Structure 1
């Protein structure tokens, strides 16, 4: 299980990762829900639009952290399927992602992740399924 019990533990966990490089700030994590923000700046295409891949990074981050919380002691979540539909673009500010559990099983967990802009307009919708594995078998 990934330790997200305190802001300090979460910061230590994401130090040096893609999560840190994209500027994602995780605001809430539980097995049923995770919420976080990501700046548009630094995560754009050459045309100045939020990169679709960055939206997927936010979605997979939030869903995976929630799945880790669901997994329990001695297990970690690894993504096995992700898809996303991009509804609109963002050019500035923060986007907010909310992962909501769809299925919390013994070996898998699935989440719908909605990403919205500062005006609460849906930017993207993603779906993530994670496999819950023994943390000694990772790698």
Structure 2
């Protein structure tokens, strides 16, 4: 798939989902990575006015799961997240955060992703690991 095809697919699969609710937009795709961004507004704040860790994790799982979907044979397989862990390192109250999902391990059954969430100045906001599983579709 080309970058344009991946980004077009991301718009299609985001309709009427949490990704649309959180205004997550996929912005870049390479041979083994995918990038999305999310605006940091009051919609994704915790009560004290900074980005909610749960919104960061939702962004990370969205970009990592779609990356698995794009980079695996999903005509024969379906992909699900099975484990996620996040370290939140810095707070942010406005602007955009960017999540870049890169493979750590690309197995036939399980995939391990590193997702770095950064701000507009490339400061690391959160570091996330996501494990996905690819299982055969019932025919």
Give the TM-score, by structure 1 length.
0.89
CA distance in 2, matches of 1:105, 1:88: 32
User: 1:5 is paired with a residue of what secondary structure?
Assistant: helix
> 1:37 offset after TM fit, Å?
0.3
Q: Is the 8 A contact 1:101 1:111 kept in 2?
A: yes
User: 1:82 is paired with a residue of what secondary structure?
Assistant: strand
Instruction: Please say if 1:126 is aligned against 2:131.
Output: no
CA distance in 2, matches of 1:76, 1:31: 20
- Unaligned stretches of 5+ in structure 1? none
CA distance in 2, matches of 1:108, 1:31: 18
Find the counterpart in structure 2 of residue 28 from structure 1: 28
Q: Is the 8 A contact 2:81 2:131 kept in 1?
A: yes
- Unaligned stretches of 5+ in structure 2? none
CA spacing shift, 1:6–1:114, aligned 2, 3 Å: closer
CA distance in 2, matches of 1:45, 1:135: 38
Q: How many residues align?
A: 134
| RMSD, aligned α-carbons | 1.7
CA spacing shift, 1:6–1:117, aligned 2, 3 Å: closer
Give the TM-score, by structure 2 length.
0.89
Instruction: Please say if 1:105 is aligned against 2:107.
Output: yes
Find the counterpart in structure 1 of residue 68 from structure 2: 67
More helix by share: 2
